[in-house]
Chains A and B, each alone.
Chain A
Amino acid sequence: MTAGLLFDLMMALAVLGTAAWTLAARTQFAAVIGFVATGLLLSLVWVRLGAVDVALTEAAIGAGATGVIILYVVARLRGGTAEISAATPSRAQRALAALLAVAVGGVLALAVLNLPDPAPSLAEAALAGSAPLGLGNPVSAVLMAHRGLDTLLESVVLVFAVLAVWSMAADHRWGGAPGPVFRREESGPLSLLARVLPPVGIVVGIYIAWVGADAPGGKFQGGTILAAMWILPWIAGLARPPSITDWRLRLMIAAGPLTFLCVGLAGFAVADGFLSYPPSFAKPLILLIEAAMTLSVAAALACLIAGPPERRLPPESMAADRR
């Protein structure tokens, strides 16, 4: 057994172990910790699989942002033990669930191990396809050009999600700022973090988004970091998030997909049709979209993490927000 194989085996066992522990964890808090740990281990696995772009995304969104948002809800759920024990499936049901889940996993394993060898691959085509666009990172090329429609729809989905989250608000909270009210912390570690981290984080975030064209990184990873840098001062009570009826916030969220859509439709006029780029302007156009998307991803993620408005703005700021 080679060292690489041994490492893979250990990684696999570690991932499965933490995942199982996550399910078995006594408290919800522990379960979240288990989940985040699983996510971080998975990012390592992704590196091992040669997918650094995904590893970054997994760490930023899969483990980081998801972990934060779950933790944030855990902190606000209280009680309900009687209800939970009443709703817990019986021992027989759990045994059956385990049996069936293992069976599904088993047939899945059977299928995966029976995948054809050599595996079909689009790597060559993608590499060839990314050259004319001037992008050094084929993953970015696939995301922005070959499967651009996926990315476009996905950025629209983010807007759907933000709108859906907002629409869960109580009627009389409409027009408020996203999320609950945080007390202003003048001192303490959070306050310090909220003052020190953002300048650095914003630079890092923009950098990661920028290099995405040629190296691992990109709008989602960068956008997540930017979102975190935006949220930090909110939580510390140092900054006030804008009202959800503020058109600037809304434009920020919709700018990415709108830009993508406009560039895509412009393709009818200046290139070979929808979502095609004129060869000489391909890279600048893609960078333009990426920039808008980074902004939108950051704003959307921040709003998703904050949740629906739970407070109304004071009247004078309401008046300022009204158009």
Chain B
Amino acid sequence: MTATTPGGWLLVLALTLPAGAMLLGFVAGGRHAQRIALGALAIWLAIALAVALQVQASGAPLAYVIGGWQPPLGMALRADGLAAAMLLTGAVVLLAVALFGQGAYDTPRGAAETRAAYAFWCFLPALAAALAAAFLGGDLFNLFVALEMLTFTALALACLDGKPSQFKSELRYLLFALIGSVLYLLGAGLLYGAYGTLDIALLAGRTRADAPTMVAGALMTAGLIAKMALFPLHFWLPPAHAGAPAAASALLSGLVVKGAFVLLLRLWFWVLPAPVVLGGGTVLAALGATAIVIGSVVALRQERLKLLVAYSTVAQMGYLFLMFPLLAAADADAASRAWLGGVLQAVSHALAKSAMFLAAGLIAVSLGHDRVTSLGGAARVMPITVIAFALGGLSLMGLPPSGGFTAKWLLLRASVETGQWWWSLVILTGGLLTGGYVYRIVAAALAPPAPGCVARAVPRPQELCVLALAVASMLLGVLPLYALGLVRVGAP
């Protein structure tokens, strides 16, 4: 029996505010859409903060029963530590990207509405609404709708430039993501047939390790990891994320893929029964490990900066899957560490990767190209941007004092504690390879400029947005304890 908790109305607000802002912006258009989006995202951050504080303070998940209709017939919104942390991350990244986007997508007073700006300012709150729906949703079918919201938003953001080369990679993304959604829906149908509800809290602990549940689990998992671009289903991500404009890439790599991640966690650690998790977790982690190694090596060999960063996303997503067999292990302490490590990896990657994509975009704008071999001089023209990129890189490598360090450290410890030490080898190899490609970029950017290289300065406010994100991913490592306490609330 779910009951609306004090502060539950915040969850409704977190979902309806950006949705309403998007609708109003859609109607008003032009300069108004920009103002509405900026205002709404700022308030959204405050709401996310309030949700996080409330969850932290009460030590229990927030819930809101919609319309007073109890599940299974009705639906509930829920925010545990995971949801609150991801919501807050999403709000921070979105606001930073919105402020960054003011440079490229500004509609001055009196100017006519343009396509890219209109779409950008409408889809920012749209993404916020989609993320809120995905993080807070308590019903597997409702989460399907959230997934589709994410897909549509991601697609539109990626096509913002209207570049011909982008249409093909986006079409590949859309088709593959849609197939993923349908597989997810198929599994949801089976679960409804087996249990007569899709409410996650009601399903928890009630599922049996029988054929319908397992088939549903396999289908839904495959659908979700297709959307997360886990190797070998990653083919769509690098061109789609690398080809998008910088602000969009940051959102796609930082946030959109995390929506499916939260759903995957809900599915595995709330819905699926323990024996199924135990059996399947190793497969997921093995795929994740492969993604880490292959993604990193391929990133190391890229010639274009944005493609390199995109392949790095493929690799970093792999880390998220290492937590599955660790969580399934019997050791409660290790499982708790693995949970924290996995969630923290998602958060720190969101912050670090969005900073890196924005930085890569600024570098490309300044130099007029993004060939890795000729980045020389970048550090002189835009030291802040290069520092931000390097800080993000440190977090990806897992060097202290970054958030990535805490995440990887926790995963490492958990893997040793549960006797699955082989995953720790993967984490270390991944860190090494990550160091390799981050180093390649930073060393190239630090090098003296090539003769004839004309780099133009980039706007300082944009640089500061990037730096803020990178510093946030660092702060996560300095102040992990507060983050960890929050993430523990309502953990499986």
Query: B-contacting residues of A (Cβ < 8 Å)?
Result: 107-108, 110-112, 114-116, 119-122, 125-126, 129, 142, 145-150, 152-154, 156-157, 159-161, 163-164, 166-171, 174-175, 245, 247, 250-251, 253-254, 257-258, 261, 264-265, 267-268, 272-277
With a CB–CB cut-off of 8 A, which chain A residues contact B196?
119-122
Given known contacts A147-B75, A160-B153, A111 and B212 CB-to-CB distance under 8 angstroms: yes
Are A157 and B152 interface neighbours, CB within 8 A?
yes
Are B160 and A157 interface neighbours, CB within 8 A?
no
Q: Report 21 cross-chain contacts, Cβ distance below 8 Å, ordered by A residue.
A: A108-B219, A110-B211, A120-B195, A145-B67, A148-B66, A149-B66, A153-B142, A154-B145, A159-B26, A160-B156, A163-B123, A164-B152, A168-B167, A171-B114, A174-B115, A254-B26, A254-B27, A257-B23, A261-B20, A274-B67, A275-B67
Q: Would you give the shortest CB distance from A125 to chain B, in whole angstroms?
A: 5
Given known contacts A111-B190, A171-B162, A258 and B73 CB-to-CB distance under 8 angstroms: no
* CB closest chain-B residue, reference A246: B29
Query: A-contacting residues of B (Cβ < 8 Å)?
Result: 4, 9, 12, 16, 19-20, 22-24, 26-29, 64-69, 72-75, 112-116, 118-119, 122-123, 126, 129, 133, 139, 141-142, 145-146, 148-149, 152-153, 155-156, 159-160, 162, 167, 186, 190, 193-197, 210-212, 214-216, 219
Given known contacts A154-B145, A273-B9, A122 and B66 CB-to-CB distance under 8 angstroms: no
A to B contact number (C-beta, < 8 Å) = 177
Are A111 and B75 interface neighbours, CB within 8 A?
no
Are A153 and B146 interface neighbours, CB within 8 A?
yes
Q: Would you give the shortest CB distance from B471 to chain A, in whole angstroms?
A: 32
Are A250 and B29 interface neighbours, CB within 8 A?
yes
With a CB–CB cut-off of 8 A, which chain A residues contact B155?
164
Bound-complex Cα distance A233 to B186 (A): 39
Bound-complex Cα distance A120 to B74 (A): 16
Are B145 and A111 interface neighbours, CB within 8 A?
no
Bound-complex Cα distance A1 to B23 (A): 55
Q: Would you give the shortest CB distance from A19 to chain B, in whole angstroms?
A: 15
In the A-B complex, the 10 residue pairs with the smallest Cβ-Cβ separation, listed nearest first, are: A120-B196, A111-B215, A167-B119, A164-B156, A276-B67, A275-B67, A272-B68, A174-B115, A111-B212, A114-B211
Are B20 and A258 interface neighbours, CB within 8 A?
yes
Bound-complex Cα distance A259 to B237 (A): 37
Chain A facing B: main interface SS? helix
CB contact between B190 and one of A112, A153, A261 (< 8 Å): that residue = A112
With a CB–CB cut-off of 8 A, which chain B residues contact A267?
67
With a CB–CB cut-off of 8 A, which chain B residues contact A250?
26-27, 29
Q: Would you give the shortest CB distance from A194 to chain B, in whole angstroms?
A: 29
Bound-complex Cα distance A166 to B33 (A): 16
With a CB–CB cut-off of 8 A, which chain A residues contact B16?
261, 264-265, 274
Bound-complex Cα distance A166 to B160 (A): 11
Are B149 and A156 interface neighbours, CB within 8 A?
yes
With a CB–CB cut-off of 8 A, which chain A residues contact B26?
159, 163, 250, 253-254
Are B68 and A273 interface neighbours, CB within 8 A?
yes
With a CB–CB cut-off of 8 A, which chain B residues contact A107?
211, 215
Are B212 and A276 interface neighbours, CB within 8 A?
no
Bound-complex Cα distance A276 to B70 (A): 12
With a CB–CB cut-off of 8 A, which chain A residues contact B22?
156, 159-160
Bound-complex Cα distance A276 to B193 (A): 27
With a CB–CB cut-off of 8 A, which chain B residues contact A168?
159, 162, 167
Are A163 and B156 interface neighbours, CB within 8 A?
yes
Bound-complex Cα distance A148 to B65 (A): 12
Given known contacts A153-B142, A167-B119, A253-B26, A129 and B210 CB-to-CB distance under 8 angstroms: no
Q: Would you give the shortest CB distance from B341 to chain A, in whole angstroms?
A: 32
Bound-complex Cα distance A247 to B33 (A): 12
Q: Would you give the shortest CB distance from A319 to chain B, in whole angstroms?
A: 12
Q: Would you give the shortest CB distance from A167 to chain B, in whole angstroms?
A: 4
Bound-complex Cα distance A304 to B65 (A): 34
Bound-complex Cα distance A251 to B223 (A): 35
Bound-complex Cα distance A245 to B123 (A): 16
Residue from B23, B126, B152, B159 having most chain A Cβ neighbours under 10 A: B23
Are A108 and B123 interface neighbours, CB within 8 A?
no
Are B73 and A146 interface neighbours, CB within 8 A?
yes
With a CB–CB cut-off of 8 A, which chain A residues contact B162?
168, 170-171
Bound-complex Cα distance A175 to B116 (A): 12
* CB closest chain-A residue, reference B183: A104
Are A115 and B194 interface neighbours, CB within 8 A?
yes
Bound-complex Cα distance A265 to B153 (A): 24
Bound-complex Cα distance A112 to B194 (A): 9
CB contact between A257 and one of B19, B122, B186 (< 8 Å): that residue = B19
CB contact between B115 and one of A148, A169, A273 (< 8 Å): that residue = A169
With a CB–CB cut-off of 8 A, which chain A residues contact B74?
146-147
With a CB–CB cut-off of 8 A, which chain B residues contact A115?
190, 193-194, 212
Given known contacts A122-B197, A167-B156, A157 and B145 CB-to-CB distance under 8 angstroms: yes
Bound-complex Cα distance A254 to B125 (A): 15
Bound-complex Cα distance A308 to B484 (A): 47
Bound-complex Cα distance A247 to B112 (A): 14
Q: Would you give the shortest CB distance from A310 to chain B, in whole angstroms?
A: 13
Are B115 and A163 interface neighbours, CB within 8 A?
no
Q: Would you give the shortest CB distance from A305 to chain B, in whole angstroms?
A: 17
Are B210 and A114 interface neighbours, CB within 8 A?
yes
Q: Would you give the shortest CB distance from B32 to chain A, in whole angstroms?
A: 10
Are A171 and B116 interface neighbours, CB within 8 A?
yes
Are A148 and B23 interface neighbours, CB within 8 A?
no
Q: Would you give the shortest CB distance from A109 to chain B, in whole angstroms?
A: 10
